[in-house]
Chains A and B, each alone.
Chain A
Amino acid sequence: MSFYGLVDGSEKSLIHFLDELSGVDQVGAEARAAMLATRSIKTTSKKWAIETAISMVDLTTLEGADTPGKVRALCSKAVRPDPTDPTVPSVGAICVYNDMVEVARTHLDAIGGKHVPVAAVSTAFPSGRASMEVKIQDTQDAIDAGAAEIDMVIDRGAFLAGKYGLVFDEIVKIREVCGGKAHLKVIFETGELVTYDNVRKASYLAMLAGADFIKTSTGKVAPAATPPVVLVMLEAVRDFYSITQRRIGVKPAGGIRTTKDAIKQLVLVNETAGPDWLTPELFRIGASALLNDLLMQRMKMSDGYYASPNYVTID
């Protein structure tokens, strides 16, 4: 099998390819991300950024205490984030655990939300500690239940132990399970990968194995989607595009709670991967609390006075 003609799938070829990658300039990446974070986005640009960010949110609930009722409420919010204002776009997707996919899909279809896909977290999320059979079954279950996007976690233990072949094969197998039915997002849990070099390697590993999206984190580990990490991943998709002519999406998740954070991410995208990536097809933000802040900022812009959390839903 050929993977973009860059590796042959063997561990040896992977190690060769990944070791050839240049290391990340840590100080440079952090300075660049910090510098881009100072960009001031105001008035009409801010309005555009808020609406674009809303359309990119993967509205997420990944709690042990998730109930069907909570998932349905979240689906209603995903379709019409602000019930008082139909001009607010629907979010990018709903992101839930496997067993809630059917609840979410059925409810979305029933309330006119066919255009909102359901993403499921699979492969023994969030730790990724299970046998390959279980991970495949987990993914198959989600797709059978109607998931159009699969957010898989990689085996960080294997990655850190240098077993790139193992991680690669897992992604390839899950890619096969997804087939043409579901988009595959690969979660690295960058907080556990520790270094930017590892983030860069993991990005290429996942892209070579056929990921449609690369995603920073599960949201269960801090630090998560820090701007320098996202910068490194955006550089990876940009460079990968120049080699293969294929655009891979990026999804930061975890720790993005305010409109300011979200706009900083959009600036990073625009300045690193380029404006082509400023679309929900290629950039998503995994979040739950963020949507309320985006809505409150939008209200502030349309009403002319500061909004209160009392006027948006709690979940």
Chain B
Amino acid sequence: MATKKVSRVEVKKTYKLFINGAFPRSESGRVFEVTAKNGDFIANPALASRKDLRDAVTAARAAQSCWSKATAYNRGQILYRIAEMLEGRAEQFESEIALTARITPAKAKVQVAQAIDRWVWYAGWSDKLQAVSGATNPVSGPYFNFSISEPQGVVAIASSDDFLEFIDAIAAAVVSGNSSVVLVPGGLAVPAMSFAEVLATSDLPAGVINILTGSLDELAPWAASHMDIDGFDISGIQKKKHGALKEAGAENLKRIHSFESGKTPTRILAFMESKTVWHSVGV
């Protein structure tokens, strides 16, 4: 008798948000559809609401002091660990990016390798920032006067739908000790949530990086006006909408910047503030 091969029941992944080290569904229960170039269904990521944003900011605020007080060396180690985890799952990212960004597998492979290298490059800055950006200022008096760069606090990021730019923005924001809330649009939601799984297994303290998938148009104005967000990277938002966001962010003097993709320490320093300390000369 011929036996029919028993096929397994497909186990599909539920795409959720990444808030405070956990994977909750959107409070609103909403989802949106991501499709391939040929219209095939890929996934239903969560469509985050402003309440999810509020929860993420609360988590980011709570995590920030612990993260910024960790030694620079320790932060560098944890960020490098994330690169290790990314490396091990490179193939998964390649296939997800090829599918959702609608590029060839070869291009996706290059992009993932670039992203991992970029992450390592930013991680390396953690214990070098002070040496490069700090200063001993000349003063006329029996004092030393130091300028020290410190992280701002909670940085929101409106990412573009490009994986490399997504990695750039997060790495530059958190390496100095900021915590972040990352808003991710469209098809990038799929690799972004896989990235969240990497974060969850990398000893990164809960809440340092929170990822919300959904609509930038819906969430960005709430992030811009949120009084408990200190900086906002709006690189993923069209130029014509920058004015309104900057206006909304003026109430708490939020730093709002947009950047070109690339390796630059100025992007790290953009969300740090220089603090000046006096110290008497030892007798």
Q: Which residues of A contact B (CB under 8 A)?
A: 304-311
Contact = CB atoms under 8 A, between A and B. Distances in A.
Given A304-B225, A309-B228, A310-B227, 9 more contacts: A305-B225, A305-B251, A306-B54, A306-B222, A307-B227, A307-B228, A308-B226, A309-B61, A310-B228
A305 B222 contact: yes
Interface majority SS (helix, strand, loop, mixed), chain A? loop
Contacts of B54: 306
Contacts of A305: 222, 225-227, 248, 251
Interface of B: 54, 57, 61, 222, 225-228, 248, 251-252
A66 B128 CA distance: 43
Nearest to B252: A308
Contacts of A308: 226-228, 252
Contacts, number: 25
Contacts of A311: 227
Nearest to B50: A306
A311 B252 CA distance: 10
Contacts of B228: 306-310
A84 to B, nearest CB: 13
Q: Interface centre among A305, A309, A310, A311, by most B CB within 10 Å?
A: A305
A89 to B, nearest CB: 23
Contacts of A310: 227-228
Nearest to B61: A309
Nearest to B251: A305
B107 to A, nearest CB: 39
A310 B225 CA distance: 15
A306 B251 contact: no
A308 to B, nearest CB: 4
Contacts of B222: 305-306
Contacts of B252: 308
Contacts of B251: 305
Contacts of B248: 305
Q: Interface centre among A306, A307, A311, by most B CB within 10 Å?
A: A306
Nearest to B228: A308
A259 to B, nearest CB: 12
